[in-house]
Amino acid sequence: MDVDYIIVGCGLASIAFCEQLRSHQKTFVVFDNASQQSSLVAAGLYNPVTLKRFTEVWEADAQLTLAMPYYGRLEQLLNVKLDYKVRILRRFASIEEQNLWYSATDKPLLEPYLSPEIIKTNFDGIDSPFGFGEVFQAGRVDTAILISAYKKYLREQQCLFDESLHYRELKSNNQTINYKHIISKNIVFAEGFGVKNNPYFKDLPLNGTKGEIMEVYAPNLNLEVAVKSSVFLIPLGNHHYNVGATYNWNDKTNQTTQAAKEDLSKKLKQFLKAPFEVVEQKAGIRPTTKDRRPLVGRHSTYQNMFVLNGLGTRGVMISPYVADALYKYIEANQPLPNEIDINRFLVGQD
């Protein structure tokens, strides 16, 4: 089998790159062993503002410009609903936070994204004595449905291998990649935290941060907005909500923990004054980096091996942006933005 690309992984980054290939009539196959859970357990929110400090997300405008039509095309391709235009409200814990919000709305970069009005609406079950600030151009992508539906599509196209790729069986002569019965021009590793086991890119400074989220059932709560306070509370419909997320820099497993459940429940109770029941808990390792920028680029020795990784907590917004950049880098020889190029790190690669 001859193809243009082998893709390793099937998360948000991989899907975005596959769509670049598909839109340019490039042939490809995907290997995925379902070992990485970060995209599946992601809350899926996209918003252009860091709501802890009220600062603009890096390249927010460029990312949204690509992401919004991208998810629309995916909805048509897969015949599923993915993009939910959920209002995101930042709950204020004090007058000081209100004042910080007012200051942020005066900044030119943030003005398109932040409402200058303090929302005083009282939502039943939500304690909000200081009101809310609203974030514009925000919403939620159902990442679990996206990945499930896209894998189904790939299977129908007979280009998905539900198995691990064995690195030792890869052979590259810088012209072609040979793997078992497949001959490819290029290979792109989009494995998330799994790249730590990849002999070609294992030395990249990918830290990995474990995150856990809960799904709760709150029958007395009728909330149609997402609320950001000490944790996010995100409506899913039928009185079900996602609550998240935790950050653990030491535990590198996909196993849920009682400690995370208790932490999320405690923080939720700080502002949710309605009874709730935990119905599900999920965990995954986010592919995070020390400078909070993606890891994109070419291997120093093997010129047809590439990495697409390090999307961190904002994979929904960043994935179309970095996939576009990598495709143009490979196929049109356009330089990668310095902020995402792996060459910014002086890392020895095997």
Could you report the per-residue pLDDT of 287-316, keeping only the tens digit for each? 999 899 999 999 999 999 999 999 998 999
Say whether both 247 and 183 belong to one domain: no
Could you report the per-residue pLDDT of 23-32, keeping only the tens digit for each? 999 999 999 9
The number of distinct structural domains making up the chain is 2
Q: Say if residues 36 and 28 touch (Cβ distance below 8 Å).
A: no
184 Cβ contact partners less than 8 Å away, ≥ 6 residues apart = 2, 3, 4, 5, 6, 29, 176, 177, 178
Mean predicted lDDT score pLDDT of the chain? 94
Question: How much is the average pLDDT of 329-350?
Answer: 85
Say whether both 198 and 225 belong to one domain: no
Say whether both 214 and 194 belong to one domain: no
Q: What is the predicted pLDDT for the residue at 350? A: 41
Could you report the per-residue pLDDT of 134-169, keeping only the tens digit for each? 999 999 999 999 999 999 999 999 999 999 999 999
Say whether both 239 and 338 belong to one domain: no
DSSP 163: S
Question: Hey, is 267 helix, strand or coil?
Answer: helix
Say whether both 238 and 301 belong to one domain: no
Q: What is the predicted pLDDT for the residue at 217? A: 98
Least confident of 49-53, 115-119, 297-301, 332-336: 49-53
Binned at pLDDT 50, 70 and 90, residue 40 comes out as low
Domain containing 267: what range? 209-286
Would you say residue 329 has pLDDT above 90?
yes
Q: What is the predicted pLDDT for the residue at 233? A: 97
